[in-house]
Amino acid sequence: MSEQFLWFASRGSGIVSLLLLTTVTVLGLTSMVRWQRPTWPRFLTNDLHSNLALLSVVFVGVHVTSAILDPFTNLGIYAATIPFASSYRPLWVGLGVISVYLFVALIVTSLLRERLGQRTWRLVHWVAYAGWPLAVVHSMGSGSDAFALWMMAIEALCIGVVALALTWRVAAGRTNREQLPAVVGASPRVHAPYADGDHR
């Protein structure tokens, strides 16, 4: 019974983590001033992005912990922290480990942004976005239900919405920074630190 619970906990938290990380990625890609409105409360834009990122930390933690404890995968702390060291599907689990590290780097650098500086933060932030496709590939290859129709539908949905968000971001052309003067002049509720592509 406990083994089955650990499997459901690991798989369920992994799926929720993927959905949350997908949402965070989409919000990060689309959080341009032209998408936001000066009259909207801030929690609908930047705060929503950061709060969902922090919430996903909880589910990633549950996912990793339950995977370590699950006797079926026999993962162990070593395999959960060292990429490709797992005896259970080493490639797919290893990609998941790297994804977690990139995600942690995103969270930590966002919390320390004022100390790191804008250029360093932005570089790490964009590199850390690579954690999302790694998480998707990890989900495709590591789960015993990876080829179930419902799981493939979730993965297709995640890929589709991120692809649309990325397409919109590229097609938009301009970033928040270029639109900052007009937006700040339009409403005092939009603060400069949050209107330049900041995803905090």
Rounded CA separation 160/96 (Å): 20
Q: What is the pLDDT of residues 73-124, one digit of tens each?
A: 778 888 889 999 988 889 999 999 999 999 888 888 877 878 888 888 888 8
Q: What is the pLDDT of residues 54-76, one digit of tens each?
A: 899 999 999 999 989 888 777 88
Q: At residue 181, does pLDDT exceed 60?
A: no
Q: What angle do CA 7, 100, 28 make, to 5 degrees?
A: 115
What is the torsion angle, in degrees rounded to the nearest 10, for the CA atoms of residue 190, residue 192, residue 196 and residue 197? -60
Handedness of CA 121, 133, 96, 19 (dihedral sign): positive
Residue tagged 């906990």 (tokens): 9
